[in-house]
Chains A and B, each alone.
Chain A
Amino acid sequence: MKPEDMRRETLHRDAFAGLSTRRQLIQRGLALGLSIPVINAALAACKGQATPSASSGASGPTFKLGVVTSLSGDDVFGGNLTRRGYDFWAETVNQRGGIEVGGTKYKVTMVYADDQSKPATGADAAERLITQEKVDAIFGPYTSGVTLAVAPICDKYKVPMLAGSAESPNVWKAKPAYTFGIIPSVDLTAGKALAVLVSQANPKPTSAAILGADEPFSKEAAQGFLAQAQQLGLTITKQEFVPPNADLTPIVSSFAATKPDIVAVGGHEEVLINFIKAAKSLNFLPKAIIMHYGVTEPDFARNLGPDAEGVFGLAVWTPDVSYRDDLFGSAKDYDTNSYNRWGSHPDYTEAACSASGEVFAAAVAKLGKKPPLSESDRAKLRDLIEQTSITTFYGPIAFETSGDHYHDNTKPTPVLVQIQKGAVVAVGPAEAKKAEMIYPLPAWNARS
């Protein structure tokens, strides 16, 4: 055979050798297509076991509540906290037979949607819950970003949204008509806690350094600390904002070089934990470290062990506050029952989310209409929510109707807390304190 013929034959053969026949392609396509229902069924089975649902399987009309929160993505940790809070309220209410409206009790059904920690997905979630699931109200997301994306949708469809966790002041500056927040925004609370610390500390601190993670909420917390520190006349030795993922050792070293009495940190749990570890590894020990809400998360003390000792934080709610209500009992009762249910102690986010349910229940009882609620019902519900003035195990709840904190619950007063022997203890102000505060911080290696 001539070389050219051989080449042509080889080419011809190779051209079709590697190709799948049509039959093979169809087989593969079918396999792919059939695998989807199989995966479907497997996941459905998983779902049946995995998620204890708060819906009681009730017959008859129920109040349907949509929950938009971060069940995956960067904020999955906080998102699950909110979910536990909302779920616990629904379960507790259903155990009593439901919300009482005009003599009849109606149970509560919860429908969930994951916002994947993204505003766009949150908006889709809200749209789906409102238009397909036809919820009566929405329980809000963990992050302010998602809340900001969902608020206009709630406005448009006239569905009230109760956010147990929107802490950034930006949410309220936008003056959302149908959104209400249970937690006072962070710019109000950070400074107050610092003031308590400075007033009680002995000897009096004279300087402070402020660190903030460059993300919503953390930044505002740090700015709250900064503003108050300036107001109190403390020397600000250093102030820095860093990306949340950045390594903290260079910053900590630069702080250490200026020898501040107090270091204030605004950030979420991961940043707070990393800061303590960085400070310890560099043997940097200011007289006090004050952080924000993250300190009250169980993970903080659990992960850091003795390194967390003495760190200050703040909470607008702890299990020790003296508020109570008919549904959950006292704050301590809520703590015990929630611990028995979920296996970990609730923090202020969970408590606020449970309290959101109580706001809904109170308003809906006043409304006097049975589910499902029509659009005009919901509009009236919104007005009733706006007029809320109740006291719950979480504390007093009433919403501002004007100003920079429109529709935010600014009533609770923050308590200065401190980690002592792994537990979160209230140490100030005087009327709320349960123990004396540790000041200054004990040396890193002198802890048990």
Chain B
Amino acid sequence: MTWAHVRRGLALAGLLVLLSLPFWVNAYILRIATGIFLWAGLACAWNIVGGYAGYISFGHSAFFGIGAYAAGILMGERFGLPFAGALVVGVAAAGVIAALIGWPTLRLRGAYFAIATWAFAEMVLQLANVLRITGGTAGLTLPPLLDERLFYFLMLGGAVLTYGLCFVLLERSRFGYRLKAIRDNEIAAETLGIDTTRVKLQAFVLSAAITAAFGAIYAYWITFINPTSVLAGDITDQMVVMALLGGLGHLWGPAIGAASMYLVNRLFWSLWGNTTAYIVVLGVVIALVVLFLPDGLVSLWPRTRRLQVLRALGPHPQQERPTVAEEQR
């Protein structure tokens, strides 16, 4: 019985526990679990572009909102589509929009890319405020379906699919190698013959599509959406911090980051929810993790040291890292 066998067994056991969860915990804990899977999936989606491609996007809330509003608009009285249809349309729309804006935006680097995506996200937010079809600032109400189990399984399924897809595409395929090559040194990757534009675009579209899918499920789950709840910057902030906390560029980093941050958030909120001190504590925790565990929580697991060695063998540690501004030249 090797370590690999034990690991596989544990994974299977874990999966069984998760599948059976709705049948032996109460609705509130189930809701928390649903939230964890939502954010784990979102953080993973962001990680595709942020951690694997090395492009820090601050605009993912736009795709989340597109998925959510697709569900909201199409399931409303005017169109009356079933959820599955709305989900497909939302994902497709996000993919198309990501392809359209990705091509010019991915030409930018570093902080420019980040701010450009942020500008795009704010644009979408304002658009949602202004258009009548989105209900403006008053928002939209979806047909209520308060089946906690269904949403739990939807989110769980979404997360499992996302991680499975990412595992196959990013860790076991040439696409993943190309992406990581772009992250480590884009110019070198170009010289190796990688079509960086196409690879980046593919990653961006994939990331956007997954985010939108979760957005649609979220809208259905909460039954009420408005621009500030599905398009605001704090959604992206959470995705980014969760991925960072967990470990950028690792497959499981986002999951760990999402789970721990969401749990800590909810824990503080339910224990001390009637004071604002928990915001401070959250900030302290983030600052401490950045100071002492910069590779994210994933680095606590001994096996990932292998990656650290590989990284250390990269650019000489004493060398000056190229500054963001220098990269622009």
Direct contact of A and B (CB under 8 A): yes
Interface of A toward B, CB cutoff 8 Å: 11, 14-19, 22, 25, 28-29, 31-32, 35, 39, 43-44, 46-47, 50-51, 71-72, 74, 76, 83, 112-114, 116, 118-121, 123-125, 127-128, 131-132, 145, 148-149, 152-153, 155-156, 168, 170, 174, 214-216, 219, 243
- What is the CA–CA distance of A156 and B266 in the complex, to the nearest angstrom? 23
Contact present for B300 and A124 (CB under 8 Å): no
Q: Which of B12-20, B24-32, B102-110, B201-209 makes up part of the contact surface?
A: B24-32
Q: Please, what's the 1-or-0 string for B124-146, where 1 marks a CB less than 8 Å from any CB in chain A?
A: 00100100000011110100101
- What is the CA–CA distance of A50 and B228 in the complex, to the nearest angstrom? 30
- What is the CA–CA distance of A19 and B295 in the complex, to the nearest angstrom? 11
Contact present for B288 and A35 (CB under 8 Å): yes
For A112, list chain B residues within 8 Å (CB). Answer: 273-274
Contact present for A18 and B141 (CB under 8 Å): no
Of residues 286 through 329 on chain B, the ones whose CB sits less than 8 Å from some CB of chain A are 288-289, 292-293, 299-300, 302, 305, 308-309, 312-313, 316-318
A to B CB contacts below 8 Å, 25 in the list = A14-B317, A14-B318, A16-B312, A25-B300, A28-B292, A43-B277, A43-B278, A72-B279, A83-B274, A112-B273, A114-B269, A116-B269, A119-B222, A119-B224, A120-B218, A123-B222, A125-B273, A127-B28, A131-B28, A132-B28, A148-B141, A148-B224, A149-B222, A216-B226, A243-B129
For B32, list chain A residues within 8 Å (CB). Answer: 124
For A119, list chain B residues within 8 Å (CB). Answer: 222, 224-226, 229
Query: When A14-B312, A145-B229 are in contact, do A71 and B276 touch as well, CB less than 8 Å?
Result: yes
- What is the CA–CA distance of A149 and B139 in the complex, to the nearest angstrom? 11
Contact present for A113 and B273 (CB under 8 Å): yes
For B272, list chain A residues within 8 Å (CB). Answer: 43-44, 46-47
Contact present for A145 and B275 (CB under 8 Å): no
Query: When A18-B317, A19-B308, A214-B129 are in contact, do A148 and B139 touch as well, CB less than 8 Å?
Result: yes
Query: When A46-B277, A145-B226 are in contact, do A28 and B293 touch as well, CB less than 8 Å?
Result: yes
Query: Nearest B residue to A219 by beta-carbon distance?
Result: B137
- What is the CA–CA distance of A174 and B281 in the complex, to the nearest angstrom? 38
Query: Nearest B residue to A150 by beta-carbon distance?
Result: B224
Contact present for A153 and B139 (CB under 8 Å): no
CB distance from B49 to the nearest CB of A (A): 24
Contact present for A71 and B274 (CB under 8 Å): yes
Interface of B toward A, CB cutoff 8 Å: 26-28, 31-32, 35, 126, 129, 136-139, 141, 144, 146, 218, 222-226, 228-229, 266, 268-279, 281, 284, 288-289, 292-293, 299-300, 302, 305, 308-309, 312-313, 316-318
Contact present for B146 and A19 (CB under 8 Å): no
Contact present for B276 and A76 (CB under 8 Å): yes
CB distance from A380 to the nearest CB of B (A): 22
CB distance from A398 to the nearest CB of B (A): 26
CB distance from B60 to the nearest CB of A (A): 17
Contact present for A114 and B274 (CB under 8 Å): yes
For A132, list chain B residues within 8 Å (CB). Answer: 26, 28
Contact present for A25 and B299 (CB under 8 Å): yes
Query: Nearest B residue to A218 by beta-carbon distance?
Result: B137
CB distance from B157 to the nearest CB of A (A): 20
- What is the CA–CA distance of A14 and B278 in the complex, to the nearest angstrom? 40
Query: When A148-B141, A152-B144 are in contact, do A124 and B293 touch as well, CB less than 8 Å?
Result: no
Contact present for B273 and A243 (CB under 8 Å): no
Contact present for B313 and A131 (CB under 8 Å): no
For B223, list chain A residues within 8 Å (CB). Answer: 149, 152
For A28, list chain B residues within 8 Å (CB). Answer: 292-293, 300
Query: Nearest B residue to A22 by beta-carbon distance?
Result: B302
Contact present for B126 and A243 (CB under 8 Å): yes
Question: B229 contacts which of A120, A131, A243 (Cβ < 8 Å)?
Answer: A120
CB distance from B270 to the nearest CB of A (A): 6
Contact present for A128 and B270 (CB under 8 Å): yes
CB distance from A155 to the nearest CB of B (A): 8
- What is the CA–CA distance of A18 and B312 in the complex, to the nearest angstrom? 8
Contact present for B274 and A170 (CB under 8 Å): no
Query: When A18-B312, A168-B138 are in contact, do A128 and B277 touch as well, CB less than 8 Å?
Result: no
Contact present for A19 and B313 (CB under 8 Å): no
Contact present for B312 and A50 (CB under 8 Å): no
- What is the CA–CA distance of A11 and B309 in the complex, to the nearest angstrom? 11
Query: When A39-B281, A148-B224 are in contact, do A118 and B229 touch as well, CB less than 8 Å?
Result: yes
Query: Nearest B residue to A27 by beta-carbon distance?
Result: B292
- What is the CA–CA distance of A75 and B146 in the complex, to the nearest angstrom? 27
Contact present for A131 and B277 (CB under 8 Å): no
Question: A47 contacts which of B144, B269, B275, B288 (Cβ < 8 Å)?
Answer: B275
For A47, list chain B residues within 8 Å (CB). Answer: 272, 274-275
For B226, list chain A residues within 8 Å (CB). Answer: 119, 145, 216
Q: Which of B31, B226, B273, B305 counts the most chain A CB atoms within 10 A?
A: B273
Q: Which of B224, B229, B275, B305 counts the most chain A CB atoms within 10 A?
A: B224
CB distance from A23 to the nearest CB of B (A): 11
- What is the CA–CA distance of A16 and B311 in the complex, to the nearest angstrom? 11
For B289, list chain A residues within 8 Å (CB). Answer: 32
Contact present for B229 and A32 (CB under 8 Å): no
For A149, list chain B residues within 8 Å (CB). Answer: 222-224
Q: Which of A74, A112, A120, A153 counts the most chain B CB atoms within 10 A?
A: A120
Q: Which of B32, B218, B272, B279 counts the most chain A CB atoms within 10 A?
A: B272
- What is the CA–CA distance of A182 and B305 in the complex, to the nearest angstrom? 60
Contact present for A127 and B229 (CB under 8 Å): no
- What is the CA–CA distance of A170 and B226 in the complex, to the nearest angstrom? 13
For A216, list chain B residues within 8 Å (CB). Answer: 137-139, 226
For A215, list chain B residues within 8 Å (CB). Answer: 137
- What is the CA–CA distance of A131 and B146 in the complex, to the nearest angstrom? 14
For B277, list chain A residues within 8 Å (CB). Answer: 43, 46, 50
- What is the CA–CA distance of A381 and B28 in the complex, to the nearest angstrom? 24
For B126, list chain A residues within 8 Å (CB). Answer: 243
Contact present for A32 and B292 (CB under 8 Å): yes
For B317, list chain A residues within 8 Å (CB). Answer: 14, 17-18
CB distance from A22 to the nearest CB of B (A): 6
CB distance from B146 to the nearest CB of A (A): 5
CB distance from B92 to the nearest CB of A (A): 25
New contact pairs (6) apart from A118-B228, A132-B28, CB-CB < 8 Å: A11-B313, A50-B277, A71-B274, A83-B274, A125-B273, A128-B270
For A25, list chain B residues within 8 Å (CB). Answer: 299-300, 302
- What is the CA–CA distance of A131 and B129 in the complex, to the nearest angstrom? 34
- What is the CA–CA distance of A344 and B137 in the complex, to the nearest angstrom? 32
Question: A15 contacts which of B129, B222, B309 (Cβ < 8 Å)?
Answer: B309
For B281, list chain A residues within 8 Å (CB). Answer: 39, 43
For A118, list chain B residues within 8 Å (CB). Answer: 228-229
For A16, list chain B residues within 8 Å (CB). Answer: 309, 312
Query: Nearest A residue to B314 by beta-carbon distance?
Result: A15
For B137, list chain A residues within 8 Å (CB). Answer: 214-216, 219
CB distance from B251 to the nearest CB of A (A): 20
Contact present for A120 and B273 (CB under 8 Å): no
- What is the CA–CA distance of A80 and B185 in the complex, to the nearest angstrom? 52
CB distance from A152 to the nearest CB of B (A): 4
